[in-house]
Chains A and B, each alone.
Chain A
Amino acid sequence: MYSKILALRFPKKMVNEPIAATLVKKFDLSFNILKAVIYPRKEGLMVLELSGHRKNFLEGLRYLKKIGVLVEDISHDIKRDDEKCFQCGACTAVCPTGALYIKRPEMEVIFDKDRCSACELCVLACPAWAMQVKFDRSILY
């Protein structure tokens, strides 16, 4: 599961296009519109949380870019699902910032969110899919 908050900006001729519906139907993504405005010059801005399988997500993005939508990744965040993490340490091989590190001598694998740069390298390197890409809601307010 992949989820990000995206800001979509589109030109006036596209304001009436069913963009969100296409993302759902053609790419099997789900969305949650957080903000939608049409500015005086008839430019549209939509902030939405888009989720789905990574592959579909990327294909959906490609579609948006193709039809001329400007896509901006507003913010995302990495979380560890501690239920899923089985404390192996494999992620420490790829983490460039040391946010994932091993506390010795206990050999406990710690995730220090403050040091995380959200580079996402650990997301695929973790055999348990414990590292997840999440968005940060605080930017909306």
Chain B
Amino acid sequence: MAKKKIRKTIEDINRKIKLGKVVVATADEMVDIVKKLGPEKAAREIDVVTTGTFSPMCSSGAFINFGHTQPAIKASRVWLNGVPAYAGLAAVDIYIGATEPSEDDPLNRVHPGQFKYGGGHVIHDLVAGRKIDVRAISYGTDCYPNREAKKRISIADVPYAMLLNPRNCYQNYNCAINLSNKTIYTYMGVLKPNAGNANYATSGQLSPLFNDPYYLTMGLGTRIFVGGAKGYIIGPGTQHNPFAERGKNGVPLTSAGTLMVMGNLKEMDPKWIVGASMLGYGCSLAMGIGVPIPILNEDMARYAGVSDEEIFTQIIDYGKDYPKGEAKSLGQVSYADLKGGTVRFKGQDIPTVPISSYFRAVEIAHILKDWIEKGDFLLTNPQELLPTVPLFG
């Protein structure tokens, strides 16, 4: 790659943040800035671009230490408000996963199941300050004789509650349609028969990984917005796949990079981390995440200036192909079309339906911008970048 005309470091940017001189733009504002000024001038003017996404993110959960009981217990099975948590850890450590339904949930026995309450709702209730019933059972040991314990906890009482999500912020995601002749209920929402609607799931030009498509500024230790608090990227998420096919601008055309993130549940806000029930599919957790992209040079300005017109995804049939494990692209659409309200498919205009909130994504990008401008949020140098592929050109 050619020698860069602009060079900034995270330290330079942090110095400006501390002096109150930093210039921050949200990722959608950056689209116009780069169009108007070009990447080089934009890089000179803008120090940080803030991104945002708010969406059901199934691969989420929290480590909780619920505190010792009297007499002491080595919990081997644990339920939080009736939702099983993973207890194969030390005595009172558990992991509550977002998609775990209540133990007595009728699931899909009456299809489509409603999945009223699950792990995501437990996490939401905790963050909202509500009391949670803990029930633990054990086989009893000399040091931990108790075989059953019940207690009520709130986030304030527990010694430790850390959100740790194995996979969030998918860099791109399918546009789902249903070519079968009956309504189906999926993790992509309700899909009406005969391509009645086309559902999509990312915030496009505002989405974190679309603004740094090769992950040149992100990795272990990048400080971010998670659920209304400061948190961190701690590595690539499960299914992180930098090898996905990319357009000329470097932006993947299918699902690609993902993030593993963590953040202290005790600091989060229930507005930004919400239990979700996907009809006929299961429980989940709708999460808000925002990543600051440091504009270290003109390349980063160009990447962060990407617009919905230049970001594409593939139409996939969830009626027949996807469940068979034979998902194939039935056409490519831009996020500008998806957001516009209809996409063209086989000569027909199909209404589009977002399942990720652009409205809230904008809000997150503005909150993060505000934090940085006020000097409340400093950028960090990642200790190890996410796995990537060689850059084009």
Task: Please list the residues of chain A having a beta carbon within 8 angstroms of any beta carbon in chain B.
Answer: 54, 86-90, 92-94, 102, 104-109, 124-125, 127-129
Provide the residues of chain B in CB contact with A105, threshold 8 Å: 339
Extra pairs beyond A86-B357, A90-B190, A107-B357 (17, CB < 8 Å): A86-B274, A87-B359, A88-B54, A89-B353, A89-B357, A90-B189, A90-B354, A93-B189, A94-B190, A104-B339, A104-B341, A106-B359, A107-B339, A108-B359, A109-B357, A109-B359, A125-B189
Chain B, residue nearest A108 (CB): B359
- Does B172 sit at the interface, judged by CB under 8 A? no
Provide the residues of chain B in CB contact with A106, threshold 8 Å: 359
Is A86 a contact of B54 with CB atoms below 8 Å?
yes
- State in angstroms the CA–CA spacing of A128 and B341 once bound together: 22
Q: List 18 A-B contacts (CB under 8 A).
A: A86-B54, A86-B274, A86-B286, A87-B357, A87-B359, A88-B354, A88-B355, A89-B354, A90-B353, A90-B355, A107-B339, A107-B358, A109-B357, A124-B112, A125-B190, A125-B279, A127-B284, A127-B355
Chain A, residue nearest B199 (CB): A93
- Does B83 sit at the interface, judged by CB under 8 A? no
- State in angstroms the CA–CA spacing of A87 and B276 once bound together: 13
Provide the residues of chain A in CB contact with B189, threshold 8 Å: 90, 93, 125
Chain B, residue nearest A85 (CB): B357
Is B340 a contact of A93 with CB atoms below 8 Å?
no
- State in angstroms the CA–CA spacing of A12 and B104 once bound together: 41
Provide the residues of chain A in CB contact with B286, threshold 8 Å: 86, 88, 127-128
Chain B, residue nearest A105 (CB): B339
- State in angstroms the CA–CA spacing of A105 and B354 once bound together: 13
| Given known A93-B192, A125-B279, contact A107–B354 (CB-CB < 8 A) | yes
Is B355 a contact of A89 with CB atoms below 8 Å?
yes
Is A87 a contact of B112 with CB atoms below 8 Å?
no
Is A104 a contact of B340 with CB atoms below 8 Å?
yes
In terms of DSSP, what is the predominant structure of the interface of chain A?
A: loop
Question: Nearest Cβ distance between residue A131 and chain B, in whole angstroms?
Answer: 12
- Does B59 sit at the interface, judged by CB under 8 A? no
| Given known A90-B355, A93-B353, A107-B339, contact A127–B190 (CB-CB < 8 A) | no
Question: Nearest Cβ distance between residue B198 and chain A, in whole angstroms?
Answer: 9
Is B353 a contact of A129 with CB atoms below 8 Å?
no
- State in angstroms the CA–CA spacing of A129 and B190 once bound together: 15
- Does B264 sit at the interface, judged by CB under 8 A? no
Is B276 a contact of A127 with CB atoms below 8 Å?
yes
- Does B277 sit at the interface, judged by CB under 8 A? yes
Question: Nearest Cβ distance between residue B119 and chain A, in whole angstroms?
Answer: 14
Question: Nearest Cβ distance between residue A125 and chain B, in whole angstroms?
Answer: 5
Is B341 a contact of A93 with CB atoms below 8 Å?
no
- Does B241 sit at the interface, judged by CB under 8 A? no
Is A92 a contact of B353 with CB atoms below 8 Å?
yes
- State in angstroms the CA–CA spacing of A54 and B110 once bound together: 13
- Does B360 sit at the interface, judged by CB under 8 A? yes
- Does B27 sit at the interface, judged by CB under 8 A? no
Provide the residues of chain B in CB contact with A108, threshold 8 Å: 359
Is B190 a contact of A86 with CB atoms below 8 Å?
no
Provide the residues of chain B in CB contact with A92, threshold 8 Å: 351, 353
Per CB-CB distance, the 8 closest pairs between chain A and chain B, nearest first, are A107-B358, A127-B276, A89-B354, A93-B353, A87-B359, A87-B357, A90-B189, A88-B357
